[in-house]
A and B are shown apart, each in its own frame.
Chain A
Amino acid sequence: MEVPILKQGQYLIASIQSALTDADLSQLREALIERVGRFRSRGVIVDVTALDVMDSFAVRTLRDIAHMARLRGSETVIVGIQPEVAFAMVQLGLTLKGIATALDLEEGLAFLNQQGEGRLEDRRPPAGRINRG
């Protein structure tokens, strides 16, 4: 089953709706990486709220998505990992080290917005600081 990918401003949001096969996961990875370029997206959110199992392949694919998106100039946040899924991931010895996670979509968007502000700040010359009120 194909995962719908929504373009929202500078971000892409992929909300996984049901259980995914390995092929579905790989397809999601390709689609996201292609769209990061096509839409010049600055951020990717993968919502895994609907996933009730995460095995090594799923974690590896999420990790690959985050790393590949970063290489293309986009930050990834994984949102909605369920408590029992987190429990199983830790027992399996799987982590998402170095990859941003957030409790839900709202928190994920807030994180990306924050990152974006940081980026703008970096580019602004110190003398020309604007009061954002």
Chain B
Amino acid sequence: MGEELRLPITADVDVVQARQRGREVAADAGFTSGDQAVIAAAISEVARNILMYAKRGEILLTLVNNGDRQGLLVVARDQGPGIRDVGRALQDGYSTSGGLGLGLPGAKRLMDEFEVSSVVGGGTTVTMKKWRRLS
């Protein structure tokens, strides 16, 4: 596990900042420009969710290795109200905020690994990874 980059999310400029940093880290790690845009978009979705539902939280970026693969691990966590029905929150078009309902399912589609754990009243943690093969 490499160095961890910790990005607080408390305002919408932080969402922009988080996706830009994510893109930079991905670029430095050698991800393609397509994957950089994919990672940045996924970070944007989960960061916005933090702001929208929990008001504050943080995003952690870490580079990880697994054999001949290198990955970018993104953890988005908050201590907000939590998600009552995670299964439903991962369905396309389901939104309790009047959005497109693409936030979580969208981020899931963009990343290679995706996991949500949530406790009602205790907060939500989204863990997601994007891999690239080391050549």
Residues of A whose CB lies within 8 Å of any CB of B are: 19-23, 52-57, 60, 82-85, 87-89, 91-94
Q: Are A91 and B110 in contact (CB under 8 A)?
A: yes
Show 7 A/B contacts (Cβ-Cβ < 8 Å), sorted by A: A20-B16, A52-B37, A53-B19, A55-B48, A56-B99, A57-B100, A84-B34
B39 to chain A: closest residue by CB? A88
Chain A, interface SS category? helix
Contact assessment for A88 and B48 in the assembled complex, using a CB-CB cutoff below 8 Å: no
Determine whether the beta carbon of A84 is less than 8 Å from that of B33. yes
Knowing A53-B37, A56-B99, A84-B37 are in contact, say whether A93-B92 is a contact too (CB < 8 A): yes
| Given known contacts A21-B13, A56-B99, A87-B34, A92 and B23 CB-to-CB distance under 8 angstroms | no
With contacts A22-B48, A53-B40, A87-B37 taken as known, whether A92 is within 8 angstroms of B106 at the C-beta atoms is: yes
Given A55-B41, A84-B34, are A91 and B109 also a contact pair (CB < 8 Å)? Answer: yes
Beyond A53-B19, A60-B100, list 11 extra A-B contacts (CB 8 Å). A52-B36, A53-B23, A53-B37, A53-B40, A84-B33, A87-B34, A88-B37, A88-B41, A89-B41, A91-B38, A94-B102
Residues of chain B having any CB pair with chain A under 8 Å: 12-13, 15-16, 19-20, 23, 32-34, 36-38, 40-41, 44-45, 48, 92, 99-100, 102-103, 105-106, 109-110
